[in-house]
Chains A and B, each alone.
Chain A
Amino acid sequence: MYFSYSHQKTDFLLNILGRLTFVTGGIAIYFLLTLSHNFPRPIFKFPNFVKYLMLGETIALSVVTLFTKFIDQDESYIDGSVITVYGSLYPWFIIHFVGLMLASLTILFVKYRKSTSFEKQQLKFLFAGLFLTTGFAVITNLFVPLLTGYYDIQRLGPIGTVFMVATISYAIIKHRLMDIRLIIVRSVTYILLITVLGIFYSGSTFAISSIISRQMGQTADLLLSTFFALIIALTFQPLRLFLEKITSNIFYKDRYDSQELLNTLSHTIATTLTLSDLTFKVLEVVTTQMKISRAFIVTTRNKKLYIIESHHKTKRIAISADEFEKFQSETNVVVFEEVPEGSTKEFMRQNEIAAILPLRTREHYIGLFLMGTKSSGDIYFDQDISVLEIIGPELAIALQNAQRFEEISDFNITLQEEVKRATGELRIANEKLKELDRLKDEFVSLASHELRTPMTAIKGHLWMVINKHKIPPATKEELDKAYASTERSIAMVSDMLDISRIEAGRLTLEPIELDLVKLGKEIASDLAPKIQEKKLTVTIPEGADFRIKADDAKTRQVIINILGNALKFTPEGGKITLGFKVKDNFVETSITDTGVGIKKEDLPKLFSKFGRLDNSLSSVSASPGTGLGLYISKKIIELSGGKIWAESEVGKGSTFIFSLPKAK
C-alpha cells in the first residue's frame, strides 16, 4: 500500500504487493501473539485445538488474501495515491488482526500485573511499545481511512513502529531485556568470519586457478574447488572461535569468570572466621573481580548496625536502622534501574548504590551487600545477578557464623571479666568477713575472759569455804551445788569459745603421737572423785599398745566429754568400759556404759548443736552440761580425720565410738 508507482493503471504487481502487505500483517499479528504468550515465559498453556485453530485460521486467511479477491479486491493507483478496494471478507481480516492484537496486549498486560522486579519493567515497556505501535497503526490504517475516506494517512502507519523501537531499546539498556552485546558480538563475529573466508577462498581460488587451470583444464578447477571447500570446512570452526574470542574481548572488556569468582569467595569464606576479616576480604574479592567502584556490607553487631566498606577513601554510606530493616523482606537483587521512584531509589541514589543484594539465611535476615556502580559504567547484567544470587546465601551463612563466633568470644570475654570482677568483689567481701570474723573471735575471747574472771573468783572463794572452813554438812551441800553450778557456767563459756572457733574454722589441731590407754587412765584418774561418788566401775584394757596421731588437748576433751556423759547418765553402781580396736589405719575407741540408754530415733540428734534429749534432761537434771559437748567432740574428731557415732539400747546402756588415725 505504501509503494509509489509511476504507472497509472492497476497492474498485477501492485495487486500482489498489496495482498502481500495484508498477508504479512495477518501473520505478523499471529507472531506477536506467540511472542506475547512466550515472553519471557508462558504463564498459561493454550489448549491444542486453540493453537491449531489460530494457526489454521492464519494460514487460511493468508491463502485467501493472496489468491482470491475476498480480502483485497483491487489496488489501483489514482492521482498519486494507491487506492485499495476491499473484498467482501475484509471484516475477517479486521477481526483477525484486532482480535489477536487485543489478545496479545491482554496477555502482556496480565503478565505485567503478575510479574515482579525487572521482569515487570521489561513487560511494561514491551506492552507500552506494542500498544502504542499497534494503536497508532490501527488509527492510521483502519479507523481514519474508514471513517474519513482519506487513505493517505495510511502512510503514517509505519512511523508507529518508532514507539516499539524506542521502548524496547530503552528496556534493553535499562532493564536487561536482552544482552544486546551478545547480539553484537555474534553479528560482528559472523560478518568477520564470512569476510575472512570470502576473501581467502575467492582470492586463493582466483590466484591458483589463474596459474594452474590454464594448463590443466576443468578437472583441475573441480579439484581445486573441492580442496578449498575442504579447507573451509576444516578451518571454519577454529576460525570462528578465534574471531569470537577477539570480539568478546573487545566487547566484554570487564567480563569476569563467574566460576573463578565463586571459587575465590568460597575459599575466603571457608578460611575466615572473624566478622571484620570476612567482610573485608569478601568486599575486596567482589569489587576487584566484578570491577565495582565500591561496595559495603551492612550487618548487625551487638544489636547495632555494622558497616564495612571496601575502600576507605570513598564516601561512607548513610543508612538508618529503619532503612536497613526495610530490605528485610527483599529476596531478589535490587538493581537501581529497576527500582521505581521512591524512598528506596532515593536511598540508592544518595549513596551511589547501583545494586543491593539482601543477605538471608533460610530463617534470618543477616544484612545487605551494597554495590556501587561498575567501573565500566555498565549496568548489572544477568551474569552479575546470577553470581550475586549464588553468593547471597553463602555469604549470609558465613556472616551469621562470624557473628555467632564473635558473640561467643565476646561472651567469653564478658564472662571472664564478670568472673574477675566478681572474684575481686568476693575477695574484698572475704577480707571484710575475715576481719569481721577476727573481731568476732576477739570479742568472744574477751567476753569470755570477762565472764570467766568473776566466775573464777566465785569458784575460788567457794572452794576456799568448802575446803578450808569447818561448815555444817547442810551448808556444805548447798555450797557444793553452788560450786557445781559455777563449774557448769564456766564449762558453758568454754564450750561457746570452742564452737566459736570451730565455726570460724579457727580450731587448730597439732597432731602428736598419743597412747590412748595412757590417756584414758589419766582422764579416769582426773575424774576419780566423781567415779567414786557414784560407786561406778571404770575398766580400761591393760597392756595393749594403741597409739594414735592426734591433738593431745582436743582428744582429751573428747574423751572427757564422752566419759563425763557416761558418768552423768549411768546410775550408781554401774559400769563404764573403755575399749580399743585397730581397724585399717584407724584406732576405734569405744566407751560403753550401763546407763539409761538412748532411743533409736534420738541417736541422730545426739551430735547436733544443743542436741540434749528430753528424757535424759529430765532424768538427770542435776548433771551439769551445756549440750554442746558431743557437737564439739564430733567436730574435733572429724577435723582429726576420724568418725564418731553411738549405739544404744534403752534401759541397757550406750556405746560411743570414735575413730582416730593410727600412729605409724
Chain B
Amino acid sequence: MKKILLVEDEKSTSDIYSQVLKEAGFEVTVADDGQKGLDFAKAGGWDLILLDVMLPKLDGLAILTELVKSPPTVANKKIILLTNLSLDPVVKEALSLGASEAIVKSDTDPGKLLEKVKNLTT
C-alpha cells in the first residue's frame, strides 16, 4: 500500500483529500501543522508528500529546507507543493528545494488530484 503524507492545516481540505485518497486505497497520514509535518517527513519512506506552504509553526519552505539539511535515512520518493499561494518566488524556491511540482488547490478538484497522485505513485 502506498504511503502518503498530507501536510495541511485546513481541516475541510485535508478531510476531503484524505477521504478520496483513502477510498482509492492509499495509506494517508495527515499532519495539521508544520512541526508535525517535518517530524513525519524526517522519518522518511513516504511514497508521496503533499505539502502545503502556509502552515502554523513551520512553513512548507522551512520543512523543505530542513529536509535538504538533514535528509531522512530512507528517502521520500516525491514531494508536491499543494498550495493556494501564488507567489512565483515561493514556488521557484520550493522547486529548487526538491519539490517536483506545484499544484494550485483552488484550480484542481478532488478527482483531478486523485488522478495526479495515481500517476505520480505508479
Interface residues of A (CB under 8 A from B): 441-442, 445-446, 448-449, 452-453, 455-457, 459-461, 463-464, 467, 490, 493-494, 497, 501, 506, 508
Contact = CB atoms under 8 A, between A and B. Distances in A.
Contacts of A452: 84, 104-106
Interface size bucket, B side? 20 to 34
B55 interface: no
Residue from B83, B86, B106, B107 whose CB has the most chain A CB atoms within 10 Å: B106
Nearest to A446: B85
B106 A506 contact: no
Contact of B107 (A442, A494, A501, A508): A494
A327 B16 CA distance: 99
A490 B105 CA distance: 10
Contacts of A442: 87
Given A452-B104, A497-B86, 4 more contacts: A449-B86, A452-B106, A457-B13, A494-B106
B118 to A, nearest CB: 16
25 contacts: A441-B87, A445-B86, A445-B87, A449-B85, A449-B86, A452-B84, A452-B104, A452-B106, A455-B106, A457-B10, A457-B12, A457-B16, A459-B109, A461-B12, A461-B16, A463-B16, A463-B111, A464-B19, A464-B20, A494-B86, A494-B104, A494-B106, A494-B107, A501-B88, A508-B88
Given A442-B87, A467-B111, A490-B106, A449 B13 contact: no
A456 B110 contact: no
Interface of B: 10, 12-13, 16-17, 19-20, 54, 83-88, 104-107, 109-111
Main secondary structure of the interface of A (DSSP, over half): helix
B75 to A, nearest CB: 28
The 8 A-B pairs with the shortest beta carbon distances in the complex, nearest first, are A452-B84, A452-B106, A460-B16, A457-B12, A490-B106, A456-B105, A456-B106, A445-B87
Contacts of A493: 106
B12 A445 contact: no
A552 to B, nearest CB: 12
B88 to A, nearest CB: 6
Nearest to A442: B87
A427 B72 CA distance: 47
A659 B22 CA distance: 46
B19 A490 contact: no
A441 B87 CA distance: 8
Contacts of B110: 460, 463-464, 467
A467 B86 CA distance: 28
Contact of A460 (B12, B83, B86, B88): B12
A448 B104 CA distance: 12
Nearest to A445: B87
A460 B109 contact: yes
